[in-house]
Structure 1
Amino acid sequence: MTTPATLRNGRPRVAITGLGVVAPGGIGVKAFWDLLTSGRTATRSISLFDATGFRSRVAAECDFYPEEEGLSPQEIRRLDRAAQFGLVCVRDAIADSGVAGLVPPERIGVSIGSAVGCTMRLEDEYVVLSNGGEKWLVDPAYLVPHAYDYMVPSTIAAEAARAAGAEGPVALISTGCTAGLDSIGHGLRLLYENSADLVIAGAADAPLSPITAACFDAIKATSPDNDDPEHASRPFDLNRHGFVLGEGAAVLVLERLDDARARGARIYGEIVGFASRSNAFHMTGLKPDGREMAEAITVAMAQNGVAPEDIDYINAHGSGTKQNDRHETAAFKRSLGQRAYEVPVSSIKSMIGHSLGAIGSIEVAACALALTHQVVPPTANLHTPDPECDLDYVPLTARDQELDMVLSVGSGFGGFQSAMVVARGSAA
């Protein structure tokens, strides 16, 4: 398929020209891609807190040392782990794009997603303030000066804006597990409406704290396979028992394709469609027919005349819960018809877990790299396919594949369903 010079409504084409990734299994784009293509898993027993007594004691943690990533002692003390992830990704993405100093500050926008904000520091400070939960009436004198920053997720976006020197529109998108996709979608719209010439878009979450683990334990959504953490995340496998919590961040530099070409930028890919829908049904439940996700996929493709046969790879939400896996399998069939049986599908959550709001941006970064390298990442741990998930879920081993157009989807508590279509940069 040849992408037209503009979308059908005359909006400009938008390119991805920079990537920054902090993910389980390695920091930086190269380490991230090496992990995905090797099919290795980064899931392990939780070490960030004492998980004794929890139903699920496995997670995908980042081996992140902020001082080694260039953060100052003041930034390390002041910022929550999620904000630290985001800050490193912003700096790396801007450096990767080579765009620093080329765009006036007032024309730079920021769109950052997060599901749970600064959970880790917020919980830590409450534990201290309440003396381990003993006191209902607390002494504010024990409160650290940055506690307000931990309570308000928008401070992550503000830190990103400061790092980028962005004085244009800045937003924090918090739509649960679709926040990483939705933040990029919002950044896309800022470029469409000419509110910015450059957008720093992505998401960050570091939810590996007792309160988060307890919440997912209560609804039995996370895997209890504590004796085999490396194989606990098993999307589309008949023997899966729930998802594995993760953490991380990814940031993309978005700019108009004409501007990127004019400055000779490397183009990872072009975003050619985005849509989101809600099922207006249940906070955690999904309808089995996948209608709302299918609608998001159909609308995202229609924005630039993408047909089902144009889709060469699907990056699935693939959380590893039976409800989700069957729901999106139905959505792919409903939106793509026969093509759903022909196109490879995979879930990188099998290797890096589910980092809640961050995962959508991490997955778009994976899609951009898949297009760049012409490789489909595998679904790790898929040994016994669920008969109800009867598509080509690329088990265990990465696959060399000609890719011109890929689809990435997300599904979140609250009924949020989002879809994004990304085209190969060299084919743009």
Structure 2
Amino acid sequence: MTPKRVVITGMGTVNPSGNSISEYWESLCMGQSNIKLIDSFDVSKYTTKFAGLIENYDFEQILDKKECRRLSKFILFGYAATLEAVNQSGLSIDKYADHVGVEIGSGIGGIDVLEKMTIALHERGPNKVSPFTVPMMIIDMISGFISIKTGAKGPNCSSVSACASGCHAMGNAFQMIKNGKAKAMITGGSESAITPIGLASFCAAKSLSQDNENCKTASKPFDLNRTGFVMSEGAGILIFEELDFALSRGATILAEVIGFGSSGDAYHITAPAPQGEGGARAMQLALEDASLTYKDIDYINAHGTSTKMNDMNETAAIKSIFKDYAYDIAISSTKSITGHLLGAAAAIEAIASILMIKNNCVIPTINYSTPDPDCDLNYTPNKVINKQINTIMSNSFGFGGHNAVIIIKNYT
């Protein structure tokens, strides 16, 4: 069978930089960080007291009050983003239900529900644990819930690979359509891990920046003075479709997915493999899948977490694949603006990259002031640059040695 071409027809998001695609793009263009101190629970004893939070979104506009109370926030975020993406795509899911699938990733899932029910168990006993605890905390329920709400009856699954979850979900959706198993896929990632136990766990792992006095500038990927990542919450959802199917229904095509690569480090539970070897292999596999050479890539949306280890090793990985061109290619980490959405990061970064293609510009790495000798590439510091972008590569790497890379191009 001839592989099918896969295009993108819709996008949706709720994230700290905006509760819609238009709000998100405006914040990216302004280089505006909405990272702030956490006020939803007491953080006085935490080493990190800030994060990127979803605010001013009324979920009761899209679901009834009972469902909003019952559902984990990661499902609420994912459903809100799905509605925007499906609306933009114009896809009539009821008409093609058997051929529309769902593949959405999350790194942690319903930790908020699990935490709440654990407290109920210890304080009030087992009879006070909700019968909805298991279905609301398991990661696959985001795909299940969105399938139920939209009527999509095609392939239905969820990807779990820590901070690479969203990229693996998109890669799986891409392959599903490419191989003729679905006509369209609702895909992306969602995360809501900013809870007392979620924050405490990342603090204990010493993964987070502790720059509480300067939280808006704490995420500074590739800068010499970076001190850790900034945790955020939210979702990004994209509609992938088989090209001929999208054209047959008159859809507006935003971009084309042309390559995906994934690999495992087999090295350490949290640290990347030395010199980013695993990430480099995923980049090379994505290039081969897309039938491209490294010189065909115009922009890299780096994983760029603002941790010492990731940024140094990702830089080494890029150099190993892109050779001398590594010093010329435009690179940036939009996590400097949004913070790190964990399992949802890849999806909102794919959306940002598509918007860069559409607007012929590169969103910068903000908060960058002091070069690091180990991170010596062009990270597009602090200012948007105008540049024709045809083809992008987006990197995602997760705890456990999970590496995923997706390549997207302008549709012509």
Q: Who is 1:249 aligned against?
A: 235
Change over 3 Å in CA distance of 1:163–1:372 after alignment to 2: farther
Q: Who is 1:31 aligned against?
A: 23
Q: Secondary structure at the match of 2:10?
A: strand
Contact 2:236 2:351 in 1 (8 A): yes
Q: Please tell me whether residue 140 in structure 1 is matched to residue 126 in structure 2.
A: yes
Q: Please tell me whether residue 73 in structure 1 is matched to residue 59 in structure 2.
A: no
Q: Who is 1:166 aligned against?
A: 152
Q: Who is 1:351 aligned against?
A: 337
Q: Please tell me whether residue 56 in structure 1 is matched to residue 48 in structure 2.
A: yes
Given the alignment, which residue of 79, 86, 95 partners 1:94? 86
Match of 2:271, as an amino acid? G
Contact 2:114 2:133 in 1 (8 A): yes
Deviation of 1:101 (Å)? 4.3
Q: Secondary structure at the match of 1:27?
A: coil
Q: Please tell me whether residue 220 in structure 1 is matched to residue 206 in structure 2.
A: yes
Q: Who is 1:44 aligned against?
A: 36
1:104-124: CA deviations, max 9, x gaps? 211111001001011112212
Q: Please tell me whether residue 338 in structure 1 is matched to residue 293 in structure 2.
A: no
Q: In structure 2, how many angstroms separate the alpha carbons of the residues matched to 1:340 and 1:357? A: 27
Q: Please tell me whether residue 21 in structure 1 is matched to residue 13 in structure 2.
A: yes
Q: In structure 2, how many angstroms separate the alpha carbons of the residues matched to 1:280 and 1:318? A: 21
Contact 2:52 2:231 in 1 (8 A): yes
Contact 1:103 1:197 in 2 (8 A): no
Contact 2:59 2:76 in 1 (8 A): no
Given the alignment, which residue of 345, 351, 361 partners 1:375? 361
Q: Who is 1:391 aligned against?
A: 377
Q: Secondary structure at the match of 2:164?
A: helix
Change over 3 Å in CA distance of 1:400–1:28 after alignment to 2: same
Q: Please tell me whether residue 156 in structure 1 is matched to residue 148 in structure 2.
A: no
Contact 1:94 1:164 in 2 (8 A): no
Normalising by structure 1, we get a TM-score of 0.93
Contact 1:91 1:163 in 2 (8 A): no
Deviation of 1:314 (Å)? 0.5
Match of 1:53, as an amino acid? K
Contact 1:246 1:355 in 2 (8 A): yes
Q: In structure 1, how many angstroms separate the alpha carbons of the residues matched to 2:252 and 2:221? A: 33
Q: Who is 1:128 aligned against?
A: 120
Given the alignment, which residue of 156, 178, 181 partners 1:195? 181
Given the alignment, which residue of 276, 289, 309 partners 1:323? 309
Q: In structure 2, how many angstroms separate the alpha carbons of the residues matched to 1:361 and 1:25? A: 14
Q: Secondary structure at the match of 2:194?
A: coil
Deviation of 1:68 (Å)? 6.0
Identity fraction in percent: 35
Contact 2:94 2:151 in 1 (8 A): no
Contact 2:102 2:185 in 1 (8 A): yes
Deviation of 1:402 (Å)? 0.1
Match of 1:71, as an amino acid? L
Deviation of 1:263 (Å)? 2.5
Match of 2:286, as an amino acid? A
Normalising by structure 2, we get a TM-score of 0.97
1:236-269: CA deviations, max 9, x gaps? 1111110000001011101011222233322111
> Which stretch shows the higher mean deviation, 98-107 or 310-319?
98-107
Contact 1:117 1:153 in 2 (8 A): yes
Q: Who is 2:272 aligned against?
A: 286
Q: Who is 2:195 aligned against?
A: 209
Match of 1:236, as an amino acid? F
CA RMSD of aligned residues (A): 1.4
Where in structure 2 are there 5+ consecutive unaligned residues?
none
Given the alignment, which residue of 366, 374, 390 partners 1:404? 390
Q: In structure 1, how many angstroms separate the alpha carbons of the residues matched to 2:249 and 2:142? A: 30
Q: In structure 2, how many angstroms separate the alpha carbons of the residues matched to 1:151 and 1:24? A: 22
Contact 2:390 2:410 in 1 (8 A): yes
Deviation of 1:192 (Å)? 2.1
Q: In structure 2, how many angstroms separate the alpha carbons of the residues matched to 1:94 and 1:100? A: 8
Q: In structure 2, how many angstroms separate the alpha carbons of the residues matched to 1:191 and 1:103? A: 18
Deviation of 1:201 (Å)? 0.5
Match of 2:175, as an amino acid? R
Q: In structure 1, how many angstroms separate the alpha carbons of the residues matched to 2:105 and 2:325? A: 31
> Which stretch shows the higher mean deviation, 367-376 or 241-250?
367-376
Q: Please tell me whether residue 111 in structure 1 is matched to residue 97 in structure 2.
A: no
Aligned length: 412
Contact 1:17 1:252 in 2 (8 A): yes
Report matched runs for 1:175-194 at 5 Å: 175-194=161-180
Match of 2:195, as an amino acid? S
Deviation of 1:316 (Å)? 0.3
**Which has the larger share of helix?**
2
Q: Who is 1:240 aligned against?
A: 226
Q: In structure 1, how many angstroms separate the alpha carbons of the residues matched to 2:218 and 2:60? A: 30
Q: Who is 2:75 aligned against?
A: 83
Contact 1:346 1:394 in 2 (8 A): yes
> Which stretch shows the higher mean deviation, 257-266 or 379-388?
257-266
Contact 1:114 1:173 in 2 (8 A): yes
> Which stretch shows the higher mean deviation, 248-257 or 259-268?
259-268
1:193-239: CA deviations, max 9, x gaps? 22211110111001101111111111211001011111111111111
Change over 3 Å in CA distance of 1:303–1:103 after alignment to 2: farther
Q: In structure 2, how many angstroms separate the alpha carbons of the residues matched to 1:381 and 1:39? A: 9
Q: In structure 1, how many angstroms separate the alpha carbons of the residues matched to 2:394 and 2:201? A: 27
1:17-48: CA deviations, max 9, x gaps? 00011110220000011111111111111122
Q: Secondary structure at the match of 2:47?
A: coil
Q: In structure 1, how many angstroms separate the alpha carbons of the residues matched to 2:82 and 2:353? A: 19
Q: In structure 2, how many angstroms separate the alpha carbons of the residues matched to 1:108 and 1:43? A: 36
1:332-353: CA deviations, max 9, x gaps? 1111111111111001111111
Q: Secondary structure at the match of 1:111?
A: strand
Contact 1:110 1:200 in 2 (8 A): yes
Q: In structure 2, how many angstroms separate the alpha carbons of the residues matched to 1:67 and 1:390? A: 43
